[in-house]
Amino acid sequence: MIRERLTSIIFGALGVALFLALWEVIGVNRLAGLTWPPLSQVLQFLFEPARRGLFLRAMGATFTMVACGYLFGLIAGAVMAALVHMVRPMRPGMDKLASVVHAIPSIALAPIFIVLLSREVTGIAIATLNVFFVIYIATTSGLANSTQAHRDLFQVLGSSRLNRLLRLDLPAAMPALSSGMKQAIPAAFIGAILGEWFGSSSGLGLLMVSAMQNFQIPLLWSAVLIASTASLFTFAVMGLLERFVYARFQ
Amino acid sequence: MEIETVVSRVHPQWAIDIDHVGKTYMLDSGKELVAVENVLLRIEKGEFVALLGPSGCGKSTILRLVAALEEPTFGRVAIEGRDPAELSRSHRLGVAFQDHALLPWLTIWKNIALPYRVAGKTVDRQRIADLLALVGLSGFEKARPRQLSGGMRQRVSIARALVLNPDVLLLDEPFGALDAVTRRHMNVELQRIWSEERITTMLVTHSVEEALFLADRVVVMSGRPGKVVKTINVPFDRPRLPEVQRLPEFHHLADELTLALEPEGH
């Protein structure tokens, strides 16, 4: 068991090292042209003290947007799932609405949001929408995860429906919800950065767009590297939370 | 029969009155499955009755009807003259299932406290401590169900069923999944616990020895459709010691029940 874990960690680290080395080799030898800089050049650019302010401001703006969108989507998704769980007739309609909204690419909705809301909150709105869908699906399926024996127990104990929701259905939904919370992390990043592309006045998305238009290749790669690393890191943290929740609630 | 039915409705003296009850299920194929047919069983207040029968004889259906988890197709189930659903709604029913049905995310203490929370009552810490002592699990308050053995989990489940001082206790093969040695030990424990509480109890089991050792009255059911085929009164005084199971009379009654269970195997 520990041996297997160790092997998988070693192979994982090897894979990452290989990927980074390949990045460097392709960049140094210009194998993919001028737009592929070596990793070392990107890192050097990224950690230049003079640019610290620029990156920190962009990160602050984007991460705030990701966090807000994630939080709103999480609350809206979980509350809506609990609501349709309690008010059964709402369930089929809400399921369909969620699927329809999910089926529309969020990039197509972005211009509408910009017109309706403002440029600054479009990223939050798209992130909220993306996260909402993932959390709604995870929570509705999770709320049905209680066992028949437990449902019988609550009926025999004379439980009210609200009491059953709080003491049985929601705890039983925690594993599914924690998986959803992990999967919703990249969805929140996509939403926020996409929103910024459409003309925010700050953020990593803005850096990407302006770097692209001005052919500032190291800046473009730096912004992408920051966004990807942040998403992967948060995803990994949520993975740990998920493992804890599974151990606790199952 | 007619007169008896009328009398029972006028005098709700029976703790549990299962009055000519039948339960039929519609199968997906469109056929009807008769689970139990014309069962008449009356349980007095403070009486311990064991429903004995082979698997699939409908004894668990009877228990689920009394617990208001199912509705009878024919006849009527009454608890103290009232609808059984009223009993669970007023939090006066205790049930221990074959599957312990403990909540895995709660500690042992919180699992036993659950009926208080569900009923919206203040948790009686002394009662929980007493029950934990009664089922021999003092010191395990903070453990989680998965850390306990199967027998310990069933004892927690029984403590949870007893915690609100229920008027009626239903036990659905609570030790069915345990090995023979643990099971015998649990029966001795349950007998001791019950002798202290004396709650109207219905136990569903397929074990002849378990039924005889625990109950005041054993009701034998036969399968498909489930019917009552024999009732015997158990004469042993309480509290019963394990030695009761070695008395000649115990063996004589056990033989009688076994014969009633499988007449064709005679």
Which among A156, A249, A250 has the least Cβ separation from residue B93? A156
Q: Where are the domains of chain B?
A: 11-79+168-179+198-261
Confidence band for A115, pLDDT divided at 50, 70 and 90: confident
Distance CA A123, CA A128 (A): 8
Query: A153 to chain B: nearest residue by CA?
Result: B101
Q: How many Cβ pairs closer than 8 A exist between chain A and B?
A: 55
The ipTM value here is 0.87
Contacts of B217 (CB under 8 A, 6+ apart): B47, B48, B49, B50, B231, B232, B233, B234
* Strand order across the B32-43 sheet: B32-43, B16-26, B74-79
3-class SS letters over A22-35: HHHHHHHCCCCCCC
What was the pLDDT predicted at B3? 47
Distance CA B116, CA B164 (A): 7
| Token digits of residue A27 | 């960049």
What was the pLDDT predicted at A117? 84
Mark yes or no for CB contact A157/B69 under 8 Å. no
Distance CA A243, CA A2 (A): 16
Q: What is the pLDDT of residues A23-49, one digit of tens each?
A: 999 998 888 888 889 999 999 998 988
B92, B118, B160, B163, best to mutate vs chain A, most A CBs in 10 Å? B118
Within 10 angstroms of residue B140's Cβ, the number of other Cβ atoms is: 18
Mark yes or no for CB contact B69/A159 under 8 Å. no
Mark yes or no for CB contact A153/B95 under 8 Å. yes
Tell whether A14 is covered by a domain. no
Residues of chain B with pLDDT below 50 are 1-8, 10, 266
What was the pLDDT predicted at B164? 92
Tell whether A217 is covered by a domain. yes
What was the pLDDT predicted at B136? 85
Query: A244 to chain B: nearest residue by CA?
Result: B105
Q: Given CB atoms, is A53 within the 8 Å cutoff of chain B?
A: no
Mark yes or no for CB contact A156/B67 under 8 Å. yes
What was the pLDDT predicted at B12? 55
Q: Given CB atoms, is B133 within the 8 Å cutoff of chain A?
A: no
Which residues, numbered 53 to 72 in chain B, qualify as contacts with chain A under a Cβ-Cβ cut-off of 8 Å? Answer: 67-69
Q: How many domains does chain A have?
A: 1
Within 10 angstroms of residue B18's Cβ, the number of other Cβ atoms is: 25
Residue ranges making up the domain that contains A60: 52-249
Tell whether A20 is covered by a domain. no
Within 10 angstroms of residue A239's Cβ, the number of other Cβ atoms is: 14
Tell whether A116 is covered by a domain. yes
Mean pLDDT across chain A:
91
What was the pLDDT predicted at B5? 47
What was the pLDDT predicted at B2? 46
What was the pLDDT predicted at B73? 92
Contacts of B250 (CB under 8 A, 6+ apart): B212, B213, B236, B244
What was the pLDDT predicted at B6? 47
What was the pLDDT predicted at B99? 87
Q: Given CB atoms, is B82 within the 8 Å cutoff of chain A?
A: no
What was the pLDDT predicted at B10? 44
Q: Given CB atoms, is A167 within the 8 Å cutoff of chain B?
A: yes
What was the pLDDT predicted at B7? 47
Is residue A69 predicted with pLDDT exceeding 90?
A: yes
CATH topology of domain B11-79+168-179+198-261: Rossmann fold (3.40.50)
